Amino acid sequence: MEFGEHLKEWRGHRRMSQLELASEAGISSRHLSFLETGRSRPSEGMILRLSAVLDIPARDQGLLFSAAGFRPRFGTVPAKSLASVPPAVAEAIGLILGRHDPYPGVVFDHEYNVLTANPAFLGLAGMAGVAVSPGDNFLDAYLGPTALRSIVVNWAHSAADLVHRIRAEAWLQGPRSPLSKRIERLAAQDDIKAALETFPQTDRLPILPIQMKIGVKRFNWITTLTSFGSAQDALVQGVLIESFFPADAETRAHFEGV
């Protein structure tokens, strides 16, 4: 795609008119029209200015620079493993997971593929008979026809909440977000449709309550997300840490070994 096509697509995705985008970017609507049709070539500064207004992620900004004939200022390829992120970030993630022990924690990329997890998360998954490895997709596991459904007591409610949350995140990622394609594929399943009809909206974001029953054990959790965002690094932008916190004394006692 040409730069103008990318720009027009992003503007449409953000539901902005040419006049609105031009006004917020401090340029004339005529100049913006010329940029979108290819009659004008953007400067690097103009790409940065328009990207800031449209809130375009770093990896997609890199694509805009390439499409305009410039060397990308930012990487366009997200992290595929924890080893591929900058060492300082990997160390920070390790510290966060370590300090969250003995409670479960897991790290995802921007599509919710697992990058790493702490021993408590792996132990909880093992109790449920679910093997977790880097590269596995959390959304496929939680929303798809897997063993997780049988142990999550409030699966329908939490699944609907999760779909609402992911749709919001996918919209931020842009018009060609792989996350959007994944969540809409999963949301098209009959049981997910039923869950969304029963719980059409949520007031619980960004916290996701999860109730589990594994054998005779019952665990109640709330989960929260910590995101790593860097305007200069597509490897880091979108990396998420999902932290599980006990929502009752029994869950806390089990994992603290009390």
Per-residue model confidence as pLDDT tens digits over 200-258: 887 666 678 999 999 899 999 999 988 876 545 655 777 889 999 999 999 999 999 85
Query: Given phi > 0 = left and psi -120 to 50 = alpha, else beta, which region is 74?
Result: beta
Could you read off the pLDDT of 64-102 as tens digits, one per residue? 999 999 998 776 666 677 777 778 888 989 999 999 999
Does 115 share its domain with 231?
Answer: yes
117 and 193 in a common domain: yes
Q: What is the spatial distance between Cα 14 and Cα 24, in angstroms, rounded to a whole number?
A: 13
Residues 232 and 134 in one domain: yes
Residue 77 lies in a domain: no
For 164-193, how does the pLDDT look when each residue is reduced to its tens digit (9 = 90+)? 999 999 999 999 999 999 999 999 999 999
186 and 225, same domain (yes or no): yes
Could you tell me if residue 76 is inside a domain?
no
Helix (H, G, I), strand (E, B) or coil at 54: helix
> Does residue 172 share a domain with residue 124?
yes
Instruction: Give the residue from 67, 91, 114 where a domain finishes.
Output: 67
Domain that holds residue 42: 3-67
| 58 and 116, same domain (yes or no) | no
72 domain residue, yes or no: no
Q: In what order do the strands lie in the sheet with 105-108?
A: 114-117, 105-108, 239-246, 217-228, 208-214
Residues 60 and 179 in one domain: no
Q: How many domains does the chain have?
A: 2
